Amino acid sequence: MNYLKEFTKGFIKENPLLVLVLGTCPSLAVTTSAVNAIGMGFATTFVLFMSNVLISLLKNLIPNKVRIPAFIVIIATFVTIVDLVMQAYFPDLYKALGVFIPLIVVNCIVLGRAEAFAQKNNVLASFLDGLGMGLGFTMAILIIASIREILGNGSFFDIKLTSEDASTILIFIMPPGAFITFGYIMVLMNKLKSKLN
Amino acid sequence: MDIVHIIILALLVNNVVLSQFLGICPFLGVSQKLSTSIGMGAAVIFVITLANLVTFMLYNFVLSPLHIEFMQTITFILVIASLVQIVEIVLKKVSPPLYQALGIYLPLITTNCAVLGTAIISITKNYNLIENLVYGISIALGFTLALVLMAGIREQLVLNGVPKAMKGFPIALITAGLLSLAFMGFAGLVK
């Protein structure tokens, strides 16, 4: 088994958001600023690799019939940990991300990796798969968030790029901007894919 | 007056899909045909209303008195998952025609983040039982409204010459963006 390949496949070839189109809800909702995107990305990455590791350790103990509820309980446990840690140490970020932290439970990426990868592979491969997929997801939402923050707010990582009184394209940090930005990134991805083939 | 306020806010101003980004997966996935979108919408109304009521009671009568509010994510998702299963079994027994109509959509709803999202958000709003019930129904109706509108547009869209790179998800997302822009106009309805 090629461990390096398991790690890097989540970046581009099987990018969970841009290629598999999983986890669209948080990637539209929390991408109003690059800081939020990084926070959300790392929270998801943590849940992904931790649940992947635990599920691959327990894969022989969990009866096949009740595996989905068992996976959901494992995932929900790690989400609760992230939720409490963030609330304690990053209260501002916690407020900005709001309901989307507990909603990592129903993020299709996490359950999808548990079902498709962790229950069939060993611990190290599952860990690398979770980490790679998480970082791929973080990268994708960071791209969306960067475009939205620069165009909509005239700043990047909260550093102002334009002068204070310059008017920005406000629509990009509002809900319609999320849909339109993500839509055009997908257009670009499709164009690249057809060029490569 | 308060009830009307809750309905307008939940249904139009803060539409669950178009301004809160909950339930995007079914919104994009099941909006190709008008008939299936109506079926999905009906199933969602049923489940969200019921799940919202059950999680509300669970939080206020069990989790809150015992001071274990941090367990809410785990308990809510388990309750929703089992609720969907129970609804499916009961419907199959009691009303086969309704089961025929909604059956295929029910398993999909467990992973619909609008259900869990609504349950969590409505807890933070400190509503009483009636307000909570109205809130749940309005959110679900808002979801159905957005889904049916989207399906109507996408049925027409198939007949148009969409550029190849924009077919499928991209054009659906851009359409959703324009719909969301239109829904922003409702913000003036409530002070």
3-state secondary structure chain B: CHHHHHHHHHHHHCCCCCCCCCCHHHHHHCCCCHHHHHHHHHHHHHHHHHHHHHHHHHHHHHHCCCCCHHHHHHHHHHHHHHHHHHHHHHHHHHCHHHHHHHHHHHHHHCCCHHHHHHHHHHHHCCCCHHHHHHHHHHHHHHHHHHHHHHHHHHHHHCCCCCCHHHCCHHHHHHHHHHHHHHHHHHHHHCC
The strand pairing partners of A160, in sequence order, are A155
Q: Which amino acid is at B89?
A: I
Cβ of A29 under 8 Å from any chain B Cβ? yes
CA dihedral A29, B46, B85, A113 (to 10 degrees): -10
For residue A78, the chain B residues in CB contact (below 8 A) are none
Cβ of A76 under 8 Å from any chain B Cβ? yes
Q: What is the DSSP letter of A62?
A: S
Q: What is the pLDDT of residues A98-141, one digit of tens each?
A: 889 999 988 888 888 888 888 888 899 999 999 999 999 999 99
Of B72, B112, B174, the CB nearest to A183: B174
Would you state the pLDDT for residue B191?
67
ipTM (interface pTM): 0.87
Write the CA distances from B187 to A160, A181, A187, B11, B184, integer angstroms: 29, 22, 30, 11, 6
Of A72, A80, A183, the CB nearest to B70: A80
Q: How far is B2 from chain A (nearest CA, A)?
A: 24
What is the C-alpha to C-alpha distance for residues B83 and B73, in angstroms, rounded to an integer?
15
pLDDT band at B103 (very low <50, low <70, confident <90, very high): low
pTM: 0.88
Higher pLDDT, A73 or A108: A73
Cβ of A169 under 8 Å from any chain B Cβ? no
Write down the residue that tokens 């996976």 correspond to. Answer: A71
Query: Which tokens belong to A22?
Result: 């999983």
Look at chain A and report how many structural domains it folds into. Answer: 1
Q: Which domain holds residue A78?
A: 3-196
Query: Which tokens belong to B113?
Result: 């983040």
Would you state the pLDDT for residue A53?
94
Query: Is residue B105 a contact partner of residue B87, using CB atoms and an 8 Å limit?
Result: no
Boundaries of every domain in chain B: 2-189
Average pLDDT over residues A33-57: 93
* Contact: B18, A106; criterion CB under 8 Å: no
The strand pairing partners of A155, in sequence order, are A160
Higher pLDDT, B141 or B40: B141
List the single best residue of A19, A25, A185 to mutate versus B (max B Cβ within 10 A): A25
Q: Would you say residue B137 has pLDDT above 60? A: yes
What is the C-alpha to C-alpha distance for residues B66 and B58, in angstroms, rounded to an integer?
11
What percent of chain B has a predicted confidence (pLDDT) above 90?
28
Q: What is the pLDDT of residues B42-65, one digit of tens each?
A: 888 888 999 999 999 999 999 989
* Contact: B81, A174; criterion CB under 8 Å: no
Of B120, B174, B184, the CB nearest to A180: B174
